[in-house]
Amino acid sequence: MAVEHIQIVFFVISLIFIIWEIFKINGISDSQDKRNLYLSLLFLLIGVLVRIVNLDYMAGVNPDEAMAGYESWCLANYGVDSHMVSYPVYMKVWGSGMSALYIYMAMPFVKIFGLSEEVFRLPMSFLGAFAVMFFYWTLRKTQKDTLLVCVLSSFIAITPWHIMKSRYGLDAMVAPDLILIGVCCFMLGYTFYSGWKQTAAYCTGFAILAISAYGYAVSWVVLPILVILIILFLYKQKAITPKQIGTGIALMFIIAWPLMYFAGILYLGFDEMKVGAMTIPKLDFNRANDTGTFILASDNILSEIKNSIPVISKLFLLGTDGISNEIAMPYFGIYYNIVALPFLAYGIWYFLKEKRSEMYLLFIMFASSCILLVLVGASLVHWNLLWLPLAIFTGYGIYYFAKSFAPCKGLFLSMFTILFLLFLINYFNFKTFKPGFTYYARMIKESTLFVKDKKFDRIYYPHDIVHSIVLFYNPINPRTFDTTVKREGVSIQLANEYANVTFGLPADIVPKKGTAYIVSNKMVPSINLEGFKTNTDSNYTVLWSE
């Protein structure tokens, strides 16, 4: 079975859901409600397609994505990671760690299909598409206003950041979708279900929120606030019982206790623990001291906040931090930022004015995420739990504009449809979309795959090539890697050498039997090629002798 077959199966299931919804909509008498919901389903279908097709379009991998892919390959084939740790709850990777959840989500796909960009991104694309559909379904079950259902679900379906992150295998990007799905479960329990179904919905919500903690460490500062506020709101509304609360909290503890113990290792000096095949590891570098992520870890908090102001301005105005170009494009940004900001402000203001009870849980998700603004260093990735709530309330603002100025509904639809089409044209275009690290990995990919099929005793790469890129395209037994690797660095440990691979070209590049040199094409004219065989691609040349 090929990857495409899995994608087709997912799309067919999505299509069946949409067709089922069409049959239900046909029974609605109001023609305007029908139009609103048909439009929702159209954008839903488009949203699913743009998230799951052609996942290897962004050829090349980001170093973090590459390292996560290699770890997934190691665990799928050997049951240990690159540090020879069996089934860790948090990965060591660079020394300072990486969230483990997405690596485990990708394991079965990597095991079946092998490691590639398309395979490793597959579960993220499915999760993103499912989150959009589940959000629509939740709104259908909990909201009577079909215009609200249409605007919110359609806007999430065409949000640039969510589309791009769904097509990218970065570990941290799994948490936002899981938190949205978890909050949707609470919305269903609060508004739609009763009795045992309500308890099941609440327990599912508690469980998914607990699982999301394995998706990104930054969520640890958001989730406690989110869960407490959800419980307080539901209890105040007399929509949850003490027994349901106790069951939910117990369920969260059962799921999250390994991660809680891991936090004890980071902050309280607990020892590493092994429970069966599972390992709760101790990192080489303590993430608690990472000032780049947590502002409170800095010795000069005011300076950190001051330095964040330009980044914050870029994030909210342009929708990018200038670094994570794989998940946001300037000007289109996270949710069409420059154009959408007035709608966002209006959406928040109108909610605070009206305080619609059925929207309260979504507002709690937004309010909880705002803690990131003061505790976590500003970046597109670090603040990723903010973007979905902001996109939702941008949609809420568009909804109220469309409701207040009914003749302008067509204008709003046309404006955001045009913006969406312009985004797609620029995103699916190699000339306009060249995401930094991923683009550089694409440049070295062909040469790495070429030497993979040769039996060289030693392969030299340029010093600026990150070892995770090579491991992604040419993975090796983790035991061999762990016993031969030579690393440098503290919080980010980069390999200088492992197995038969060396990073850094020698001063003299001379023919030597069994030795290959990968050099940039710009270097080739300065090298004496006598005695070498060569293989040249668009960026690099492989030199070797036999």
Of 210-224, 383-397, 438-452, where does mean pLDDT reach its minimum? Answer: 438-452
User: Is there a domain that residue 183 lies in?
Assistant: yes
Asked if residue 416 and residue 452 are part of one domain, the reply reads no
Asked if residue 398 and residue 495 are part of one domain, the reply reads no
Q: What would the DSSP string read from start to end of 374-422?
A: HHB---TTTTHHHHHHHHHHHHHHHHHHHHHTGGGHHHHHHHHHHHHHH
Which pLDDT tens digit goes with each residue over 270-315? Answer: 999 999 999 999 998 776 555 556 665 555 666 666 667 777 888 8
Structural domain range at position 471: 436-545
Asked if residue 289 and residue 227 are part of one domain, the reply reads yes
Residue 509 has pLDDT above 90, yes or no: yes
Which of 361, 394, 428 corresponds to the end of one domain? 428
Instruction: Output DSSP code: residue 274.
Output: E
Which of 368, 403, 428 corresponds to the end of one domain? 428
User: Is there a domain that residue 83 lies in?
Assistant: no
User: Is there a domain that residue 303 lies in?
Assistant: yes
Asked if residue 446 and residue 368 are part of one domain, the reply reads no
Of 3-17, 206-220, 258-272, 369-383, where does mean pLDDT reach its minimum? Answer: 369-383
Give how many domains the chain has, as a whole number.
2
Residue 142: left (phi > 0), alpha (psi -120 to 50), or beta? alpha
Which pLDDT tens digit goes with each residue over 85-101? Answer: 999 999 999 888 999 99
Asked if residue 253 and residue 124 are part of one domain, the reply reads yes
Distance CA 331, CA 170 (A): 22
Residue 344 has pLDDT above 90, yes or no: yes
> Taking a C-beta distance cutoff of 8 angstroms, is the pair 22, 40 a contact?
no
User: Is there a domain that residue 72 lies in?
Assistant: no
Asked if residue 389 and residue 443 are part of one domain, the reply reads no
User: Is there a domain that residue 162 lies in?
Assistant: yes
Asked if residue 197 and residue 339 are part of one domain, the reply reads yes
Asked if residue 441 and residue 375 are part of one domain, the reply reads no
Asked if residue 422 and residue 520 are part of one domain, the reply reads no
Bridge pairing between strands 90-91 and 273-275: unpaired
Tell me the pLDDT band of 72, cut-offs 50, 70 and 90.
very high
Which of 428, 457, 476 corresponds to the end of one domain? 428
Residue 369 has pLDDT above 60, yes or no: yes
SS3 216: coil
- 75 or 405: which carries more pLDDT confidence? 75
Asked if residue 476 and residue 367 are part of one domain, the reply reads no
pLDDT score for 453: 85
Q: Mean pLDDT throughout 436-445?
A: 75
Asked if residue 441 and residue 422 are part of one domain, the reply reads no
User: Is there a domain that residue 134 lies in?
Assistant: yes
Indicate the residue type of 314.
K
